[in-house]
Amino acid sequence: MMKAVGYFDSKPIDVEDSLLDLEIDKPIIERLDLLVEVKAVSVNPVDYKVRESRQSESGQPIILGWDAAGVVVEVGEDVQGFKPGDQVYYAGDLMRQGSNAQYHAVDSRLVGLMPKTLSFSQAAALPLTSLTAYEGLFGKLKLPVDKGFNLLLVGGAGGVSLIALQLVKALTKGKVFVTYGRESSKEWLQQLGADGFLDRQQTLLEGMKRLNLPYFDSIFSTTHTKEYIPEFSRIIRPFGDVCLIDDPDVLDIVSLKNKAVSVCWEFMFAKSLHKYEMESQGKILNALADLVDRGKVRSTATTVLKGLAANNFKKAHSILKSGTSSGKIVVEY
């Protein structure tokens, strides 16, 4: 048996049994799995979105958690590249039980060896946002690494944007411009290398003109894309690219046709959901660990809550839902 935090019925987070402290069976691993003793997890918007939409249909609790760092304690018979005792980090699979538990079974192809220079808490903040940022920037937007460009990051202080900014500065010759709402966010973004800022209180066009830019080559939109699309049409170059990660109910992109703009989604769980090129995520996490250990990328952990307890996860869900957090919230076991 092991401790875990989960739920049976989808309820508002302020309801007492919206998340519960549980004792459940330790997972049994499959042939490509690792069994990981979890040391820390970070909490993402996907956690509260799943909690608000998914009900238990089997009588078994739903365990959330899609960002983890820990120690390998068992390897499946077909696993390559891992052994017991390895320190690892990963984002996992949306359709399997999550990592808000003492032990977690995860497909080894989704896992990377943890950066040597980080604690478990610092490492747990990285996988989901880093995979989203890397796949969005280089898989979807196909940003060049050998020539300059102007990239706009919408939602600058969010977890994905903070990593995207660092990856662009570490791996390309491009310039990164970010939207911001609070001065404290602007200061942090400056430290991470942002080349310019667009105040959310102004239109994007006003912000671009203030920066003396003719246009943006690409836009990586992490929030409020539905509202921003008409503005995107005014600030992006002809044949530019827009990548989004949020969940608008409907997205009207007709205004972008005049400039023949390409629009795409990034969803890092698509690979595990469809068993498509899953090994690429382990490779990305290993490459990220190298960047971290060389001082090119910093952890975005800003809040660390101590203890595998329902109250800590309730607090984290509430903060995330409020939209007031900067960086990542981590729960350390």
Rounded CA gap, 7 and 207, in Å? Answer: 44
Cα dist from 139 to 133, 150, 241, whole Å: 9, 17, 12
Neighbours of 208 (CB within 10 A): 23
Whole-number pLDDT of residue 322: 86
User: Kind of pairing, strands 62-63 and 2-7?
Assistant: antiparallel
**pLDDT per residue of the chain (333 residues) written in tens, 0 to 9:** 999 999 999 999 999 999 999 999 999 999 999 999 999 999 999 999 999 999 998 889 999 999 999 999 999 999 999 999 999 999 999 999 999 999 999 999 999 999 999 999 999 999 999 999 999 999 999 999 999 999 999 998 888 999 999 999 999 999 999 999 888 788 889 999 999 999 999 999 999 999 999 999 999 999 999 999 999 999 999 999 999 999 999 999 999 999 999 999 999 999 999 999 999 999 999 999 999 999 999 999 999 999 999 999 999 999 998 877 778 999 999
What is the pTM assigned to this prediction?
Answer: 0.96
The CA-CA-CA angle for residues 30, 130, 270, to 5°, reads 50
Q: How far apart are the first and last CA of the chain?
A: 16
Beta bridge partners of 152: 177, 219
**Structure tokens given for 64:** 């959330």
